[in-house]
């Protein structure tokens, strides 16, 4: 299991919002046959990385995996299937997966097929690997990434109301890779009205996220592009919004916060129940402010365009933290995209 934990750590910079997972297969004499880890969302899970090129194993082989294998279809097939295919008869698991699709269900699936399963080996070390993932899952809400394009002076919209385009077309394509990773993509009603975005993923082979529109009074125009490309949107409205049966959306009636807008924490619980395990929040300014204030932010994906506006609306304006109370960010990665820059941070406390 120690070796599986070392494997898992190889995904430290790339696996999130998925958990880091490592896996090791040994023979009856405890000799290493193969090992693998989960590198990135959408990529093969650690069990598949470990087992795909292995022949059907002889008796006595043991598979060690840091987190309960999955038993349901996501973007990849269930890992329990490849465990059956390769005739693994003994599986040792570091810890159960708190994801509502698992929570011990995979252990039952394996045991039903007569496979010996042990759970809880080096459990504390396995929990430490995925502290961030576990804390989000235990809150019964999706993992939230804030994404914004800002100028070098921190503006997301100019003084004259323009925001197209802060970054280059190459940078915008880079941002589309993020859309492919997340289950949902969330924007406010003003962004729909001003920008008429499609919110789909326009890279080859990319996966469309489900659009989530926060529109308290159901003002979304029938011709909005987001309603007619990509996945069917979730239309989040307040309790007094007019019925809009003509819109091709799934309507979610939400409770309101004291400011009369959709209350973020209960909304996130509803989205989680609907299978939105990861959500990319793309703005605009009011939505960003509400998410930061709600304390429900896990990752910041910031694209800094090589532009200077000298006026307009700043990223996160209105939060007005003092320095001691300001959220502490932890850098995940920096990459330059010609003159633009992509910065990815974990959002701390």
Ligand X SMILES: NC(=O)c1ccc[n+]([C@@H]2O[C@H](COP(=O)([O-])OP(=O)(O)OC[C@H]3O[C@@H](n4cnc5c(N)ncnc54)[C@H](OP(=O)(O)O)[C@@H]3O)[C@@H](O)[C@H]2O)c1
Catalytic (active-site) positions: 47
Q: Which of 215, 298, 301, 340 binds ligand X (CB under 6 A)?
A: 215
Residue 217 interacts with ligand X (CB under 6 A): yes or no: yes
Total number of residues that touch ligand X (CB under 6 A): 27
Vertex 252: Cα angle to 278 and 228 (nearest 5):
75
Edge-to-edge strands, sheet with 210-214: 250-253, 234-237, 210-214, 184-188, 278-281, 143-150, 299-304, 340-347, 329-337
Residue 199 interacts with ligand X (CB under 6 A): yes or no: no
Residue 163 interacts with ligand X (CB under 6 A): yes or no: yes
Residue 129 interacts with ligand X (CB under 6 A): yes or no: no
Residue 188 interacts with ligand X (CB under 6 A): yes or no: yes
User: In angstroms, what is the minimal distance from the CB of 113 to ligand X?
Assistant: 47
Residue 284 interacts with ligand X (CB under 6 A): yes or no: yes
Residue 292 interacts with ligand X (CB under 6 A): yes or no: no
User: In angstroms, what is the minimal distance from the CB of 245 to ligand X?
Assistant: 19
Name which of 50, 21, 26, 54 is nearest 38 in CA terms: 21
Q: Which of 91, 156, 271, 304 binds ligand X (CB under 6 A)?
A: 156
Residue 344 interacts with ligand X (CB under 6 A): yes or no: no
User: In angstroms, what is the minimal distance from the CB of 188 to ligand X?
Assistant: 2
Stretch that binds ligand X, among 97-105, 129-137, 203-211, 278-286 (CB under 6 A): 278-286
Q: What is the 3-state secondary structure (H, E, C) of 229-266?
A: CCCCCEEEECCCCCCCCCCCCEEEECCECCCCCECHHH
Q: Give the CA radius of gyration of the chain.
A: 22
Residue 157 interacts with ligand X (CB under 6 A): yes or no: yes
Ramachandran area for residue 166 (φ above 0: left; ψ -120 to 50: alpha; else beta)? alpha
Cis amide linkage into residue 165, ω under 30° from 0: yes
Question: What does the alpha-carbon distance between residue 120 and residue 315 come to, in Å, rounded to a whole number?
Answer: 43
Residues that bind ligand X (CB under 6 A): 148-149, 156-157, 163, 166, 187-191, 194-195, 214-217, 261-262, 264, 282-287, 290
């Amino acid at each position: 299991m120690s070796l599986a934990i070392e494997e898992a750590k190889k995904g430290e910079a790339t696996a999130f919002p998925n958990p880091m997972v490592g896996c090791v297969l040994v023979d009856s004499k405890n000799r290493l046959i193969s090992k693998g880890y989960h590198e990135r969302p959408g990529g093969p899970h650690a069990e598949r990385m470990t087992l795909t090129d292995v022949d059907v194993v002889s008796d006595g082989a043991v598979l060690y995996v840091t987190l309960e294998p999955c038993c349901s279809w996501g973007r990849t097939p269930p890992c329990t299937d490849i465990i059956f295919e390769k005739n693994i008869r003994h599986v040792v698991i570091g810890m159960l997966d708190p994801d509502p699709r698992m929570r011990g269900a995979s252990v039952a699936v394996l045991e039903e097929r007569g496979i010996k399963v042990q759970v809880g080996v080096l459990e504390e070390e396995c929990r430490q690997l995925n502290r961030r993932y576990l804390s989000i899952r235990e809150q019964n809400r999706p993992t939230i990434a804030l994404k914004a394009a800002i100028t070098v002076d921190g503006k997301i919209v100019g003084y004259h109301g323009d925001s197209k385009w802060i970054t280059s077309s190459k940078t915008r394509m880079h941002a589309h890779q993020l859309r492919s990773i997340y289950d949902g993509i969330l924007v406010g009603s003003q962004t729909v009205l001003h920008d008429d975005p499609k919110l789909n993923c326009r890279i080859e082979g990319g996966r469309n996220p489900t659009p989530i529109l926060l529109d308290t009074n159901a003002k979304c125009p029938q011709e909005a592009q987001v309603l007619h490309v990509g996945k069917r949107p979730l239309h989040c409205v307040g309790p007094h919004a007019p019925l809009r049966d003509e819109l091709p959306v799934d309507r979610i009636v939400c409770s309101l916060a004291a400011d009369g807008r959709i209350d973020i924490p209960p909304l996130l619980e509803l989205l989680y129940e609907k299978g939105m395990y990861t959500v990319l929040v793309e703005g605009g300014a009011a939505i960003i402010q509400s998410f930061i204030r709600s304390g429900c932010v896990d990752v910041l994906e910031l694209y800094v365009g090589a532009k200077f506006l000298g006026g307009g609306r700043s990223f996160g304006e209105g939060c007005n933290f003092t320095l001691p109370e300001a959220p502490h960010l932890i850098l995940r990665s920096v990459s330059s995209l010609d003159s633009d820059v992509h910065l990815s941070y974990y959002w701390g406390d």
